[in-house]
Amino acid sequence: MAVVVLGVSSGGCGDGARRQHAVDAALKAASAALVAGDAAAWYFALPTEGASAALVVRQVNVGLARYTWTRVHAKAVPVDGKPGRYTVRFYGQLAHADTSPLVCECVLDFGWRDGRLKVVADRTDQWARDAYYLAFTDPVVLVRPHLVVVGDDWQRPLMARIAAADGQVRRVIRRLQLAPDSPGLGRKTLIYVCASRLQAFEASHAFIDKHMVAGERDGQIFAVDVWPAYWKRYASDIVRHELTHVYAGKFGDGKHYVGLLVEGLAVAVEGGYDFGPLRTEVARGNRILPLKKGLMHGRVWWDGLSDHRTYLAYLEGGALVKYIWKRWGLKSVWAFAAAVSAGDATPVGIERATGRTLGITWGQFYKGWKGYVRTLR
């Protein structure tokens, strides 16, 4: 059987392997041209035939050449059943940032013409054009010791406000009691400032709720320039909240995602919340979002951020984390999160996690938490 497979596939494979090799070499040279800022070398690396190919190769160069790159690399993945067609992804590192995110994606047909490998057609879906770093048309990059802020030139006021929150990185690391030699302090977090939710979607392909001003995804932060007065007042708090997500990672990421604890930790580190609505909820019997149900539910969003339960979930999670932190210490917050997320999101699983990590029954814990909420202002 193995011999047959080998015999059948070797001919086609050789052809495909040769082309893949040539595509990889071309993209490597094109990536180097981007880092060098050498447009002529880019066009030499990616010769084209036909109008659509010429246009896409030009668009990607123009779009990415607006940035100054520390490093760029590209990956070409063959599209099944379409010999010569590849999904091409460029990954780029700006200003020695910690990550090399996806900065551009397109689908290209490559073919041999006159003995040379050329781009012969653009097969990129309409919705995928102008995505990722091509979503910024006049980009500027502000570099600080811990933050790299990317946005269009007309977003400069908010970009500067966010860049000024650079010191929040140290604060978050100190609050989370991360070791001084943890990877945190040496790295730079990328923050994208977008003019609208649409631009944020183009830049990240992430859904941004209409009540959202910022979000974290894969260790990167997206900020949307809505509600200028809000940003003016709370920029460093918002940055501190999102940085907590970056530095805490998925926080207790077992099989069950516990949004209440993930957001609760960020709320606790962010500070400054008015817990009045939660005090009212607890005084009325905690019926809108019972704490155990909140832990079992996983995510903290109900029907969008405007839903009252969503706001309560943030406060409940914040009060939960603050209570454990105050009474048992930060290590127990992590242990509790790990135990709850490793469980199966059932009442029994949560009770077991409470007993194992905090040493008391759920009933005792819940009573103590409610008493603590009454003291929160």
Q: For 90, left (φ over 0), alpha (ψ -120 to 50), or beta? A: beta
Cβ closer to Zn ion: 27 or 266? 266
Determine if 224 is a binding residue for Zn ion (CB under 5 A): no
Q: How many residues sit in the footprint of Zn ion (CB under 5 A)?
A: 2
As a 3-state breakdown, the chain gives helix, strand, coil percent values, each rounded to 5, of 55, 20, 25
Say if CB 252 and CB 264 are below 8 A apart. no
Give me the least distance between CB of 131 and Zn ion, in Å please.
24
Least distance (Å) from Zn ion to the CB of residue 242? 7
**Residue 208 touches Zn ion, criterion: CB under 5 A:** no
Q: Please, are residues 108 and 88 in contact by the beta-carbon 8 Å criterion?
A: yes
* Residue 34 or 246 having the CB closest to Zn ion: 246
Q: Which is nearer to Zn ion, 67 or 334 (CB)?
A: 334
277, 313 contact by CB (below 8 A): no
Q: How far is the CB of 308 from Zn ion (least distance, A)?
A: 17
282 makes contact with Zn ion (CB under 5 A): no
Shortest reach from residue 266's CB to Zn ion, in Å:
4
Distance from C-alpha of 364 to C-alpha of 33, rounded to nearest angstrom: 64
Task: Let me know: does 150 contact 191? Beta carbons within 8 Å.
Answer: yes
* Nearer of residues 47 and 277 to Zn ion, judged by Cβ: 277
Whichever of 101 and 215 has its CB closer to Zn ion, that residue is 215
46 makes contact with Zn ion (CB under 5 A):
no
If the CB atoms of residues 63 and 317 are measured against Zn ion, the closer one turns out to be 317
Q: Kindly indicate which of the ranges 55-63, 107-115, 256-264, 363-371 contains the residues binding Zn ion, using the contact rule CB under 5 A.
A: 256-264
Stretch that binds Zn ion, among 48-56, 111-119, 261-269, 331-339 (CB under 5 A): 261-269
CA distance 156 to 162: 10
Cβ-proximal residues to 355 (8 Å cutoff; 6+ apart), any chain: 361, 362
**Which of 266, 269, 315, 373 contacts Zn ion by CB under 5 A?**
266
Q: Are 85 and 107 in contact (CB under 8 A)?
A: yes
Alpha carbon distance 90, 127 (integer Å): 17
Binding site for Zn ion (CB under 5 A): 263, 266
